Amino acid sequence: MKYIIGLAIVILGYILSGCGEPSFGKLDKTPYAVKECRQSLSRGSEIDPSSKIDKIVVYKKKRRLYTYRNGKKVHEFRISMGKNCDKGDKVCAGDYKTPEGSYRIVRKKCDPRLYRSLMISYPNAKDIAEARAKGMKPGGYITIHGQPKWNADGRGDSYTLSHDWTEGCMAVSNKAMAQLWRSVQNGVKIDIHP
């Protein structure tokens, strides 16, 4: 019964949030507020120079994201991914798989539904060619993001981080996302392994 209730909460949260392009609504005064976040980004004040990293590595089977600085591991974070991430590499839009390959962080995004996002450079030329060869579109808007607004306080982390629920993104706790936000600049390399 506990599992069913937890699953219902995740499904409802997923329906209400997803990890696709956000829709903007009313003024928000929570940590999900985009105005303050955007101001911080425009000033570059979100970066803590002493915590900057130069590489992210994800291991899908382990459900782990690691950050590195000068070849040394700095952080390890638990992640959840696309609902079908165990079925291989992302091939097309809507397959709910998390991509595999080498990418870069191309944009930091303030998001009113998911606690901040780091957009990766998926799809790359290889991803586009593979999707086209199958007559499909590769999709896009794959990010590393925090938790949906309904889990802003982190009380649901043990559940959300033990189940794959995104559309292909990599979800971390809000505490982990805050650390990544301070540590990651555009251009940081990310390698995603099976």
DSSP string, 109-157: E--TTBT-EEEE--S-HHHHHHHHHTT-------EEE--BGGGTTSTTH
CATH number of the domain residue 104 falls in: 2.40.440.10
For residue 109, the cross-strand partners are 117
**Has this prediction a pTM greater than 0.85?**
no
Domain holding 71, by residue range, is 2-193
Indicate the pLDDT class of residue 20, thresholds 50, 70 and 90.
Answer: low
The string of pLDDT tens digits covering residues 167-188 is 999 999 999 999 999 999 999 9
Q: What tens digit of pLDDT does each residue of 75-130 get?
A: 999 999 999 999 999 999 999 999 999 999 999 998 888 899 999 999 999 999 99
Are the CB atoms for 138 and 90 separated by under 8 Å? yes
* pLDDT at res. 10: 45
CA 171/CA 129 separation, integer angstroms: 27
Q: How many residues does the chain have?
A: 194
pLDDT, tens only, 128-173 = 999 999 999 999 999 999 999 899 899 999 999 999 999 999 999 9
Largest CA distance in the chain: 48
Q: How many domains does the chain have?
A: 1
Cα separation of 35 and 38, whole Å? 5
